[in-house]
Amino acid sequence: MYNESSKKDTSIAEIFQDINFRSVIEVSFIIIAIVLFLKSFVLEFYRVESGSMEPELYKGDIVIVSRIAYFLGLPTRFPLTGTNTGADKRIYYRHPKLGDIVIIDAAVAPNLSASNFIIKRIVGLPGDTVIISKSENLKRYHLKRNSIASAGESFIIPKSEDVIRINESNFSVFESILKNEGLDGKKLLDSFRVKKSYNTKYKFKNNYYFVQGDNTMNSLDSRAFGLIPEKAIIGRAVILLVSGNVKNQKSRHLRIL
């Protein structure tokens, strides 16, 4: 006697018989490989760990970071293992712009004592002039676009191939970023520490940026740790995915940064 339900049951059973353990492993491997590829080369998720970017971003916010905003190449750290894969192996087709919110791998920049990732805004570009003024023993920083300051203590943000004279008056500014210049920078630093006076020209290898938090009164940034080498920037924050600010949570989801 023909039984329609029996035929359906048999068909379903046959389908499940075809799905063997090896197939599950193969599909799982493909999914993991795709996720690792996207995380390493295309997109990253970053959780804001402080209030330094308020009111743009709050502590607990989760943002999507574009790893291909500026370059193609290896990540600074390989997912899961955290292995340093070489930040110098990149092909740049665009450079960070003024106002970009960027993620910085602090472990790549020797002048940063932290080893984690930080999020800041680009406020000074290579070639800009930083003017330092003092008010009641506090340092204040002002930036001029592609301009040389006419008065006050100042320094130019170096770009790759720039030749800058380093002397006693500006050594304190460039000392921290020379640590990012590899063996040549280390040799120059060692030489300066031995001599009582120095005055020499140095050709920089990296582009540098002045970064700052939007919450300027509560932000550890370039005013404290100095300029950031471009190789330490891993990508640009593009979308606010989830808000950690409960009061504004509904209105702040999926906002373009």
The helix/strand/coil state of 204 is coil
Residues forming a β-bridge with 105: 117
- In sequence order, the 6+-apart residues with CB closer than 8 A to the CB of 78 are 40, 85
Rounded CA-CA distance 20/14 in Å is 11
Ranges of H-type helices in 19-63: 21-41
Structure confidence at residue 200 (pLDDT): 86
Rounded CA-CA distance 80/103 in Å is 18
Structure confidence at residue 199 (pLDDT): 80
pLDDT string in tens for the chain (257-residue length): 445 554 455 555 555 555 666 777 877 788 877 777 777 778 888 999 999 999 999 999 999 999 999 998 877 776 666 666 666 678 899 999 999 999 999 988 888 877 789 999 999 999 999 888 776 666 778 787 776 655 557 889 999 999 998 888 888 889 889 999 989 998 888 888 887 667 888 999 999 999 999 999 999 999 989 999 999 999 999 999 888 766 655 555 667 88
Structure confidence at residue 87 (pLDDT): 64
- In sequence order, the 6+-apart residues with CB closer than 8 A to the CB of 169 are none
Structure confidence at residue 110 (pLDDT): 87
CB 90 within 8 A of CB 181: no
- In sequence order, the 6+-apart residues with CB closer than 8 A to the CB of 149 are 129, 131
CB 146 within 8 A of CB 127: yes
The helix/strand/coil state of 256 is strand
Rounded CA-CA distance 154/142 in Å is 9
Rounded CA-CA distance 109/100 in Å is 19
Structure confidence at residue 140 (pLDDT): 77
Structure confidence at residue 150 (pLDDT): 52
Helix (H) or strand (E) holding 223: helix 222-225
